[in-house]
Amino acid sequence: MEEKEIKILLVEDLEEHVLIIRTVLERSRLRNRVFVASDGEAALDFLYNRGDYADEKKYPKPDIILLDLRLPKLDGIEVLEQIKQEEELKDIPVVVLTSSARDDDIIKTYEEGVKSYILKSAFIVQKRGKMEGLLDAIISLV
């Protein structure tokens, strides 16, 4: 039986971090397809199939969202709030992958229903151990 392909929406504005996360996912045991949105507005356009992302076959609903909080145009908290208010999006698991260790960000995102909160600094510096943590989080959610 063929393993299901996991569709991942990575919402991240820093290209260096996109490359690291893509590398982690490419080397994983997961069969995955990663879509990248570089700001909050682009993430919502992708999820609602608007503008450049209008083609639903080319840009399908993701199985999981990896969301940075510090984003241009619309921050990750606002994106998360909109996702969780929308009937057709609210059940998509969201993993926050961010540099913010602020208690209010952590509390707010869990109140909004995120499944996991991973600090990017630890992930980037200690790639090996955190890679497995990220992959375990993804596997358990999809």
Question: How much is the pLDDT for 76?
Answer: 94
For residue range 90-109, list pLDDT tens digits in order: 999 999 988 888 899 999 99
Q: Mean pLDDT: which of 66-75, 123-132, 133-142 is highest?
A: 66-75
Give me the number of domains the chain comprises.
1
Query: Does the residue 141 lie in any domain?
Result: no
Identify whether 67 is part of a domain.
yes
Write out the E strands in 12-119: 32-37, 64-67, 94-98, 116-119
Range of the domain at 44: 6-136
Element (H, E) at 79: helix 76-85
pLDDT digits (tens, 9 = 90+) for 31-89: 889 999 999 999 999 999 999 999 999 999 999 999 999 999 999 999 999 999 999 99
User: Does a structural domain hold residue 142?
Assistant: no
Per the model's pLDDT, the better-predicted residue between 3 and 80 turns out to be 80
CATH number at residue 98: 3.40.50.2300
Q: Determine, yes or no, domain membership for 1.
A: no
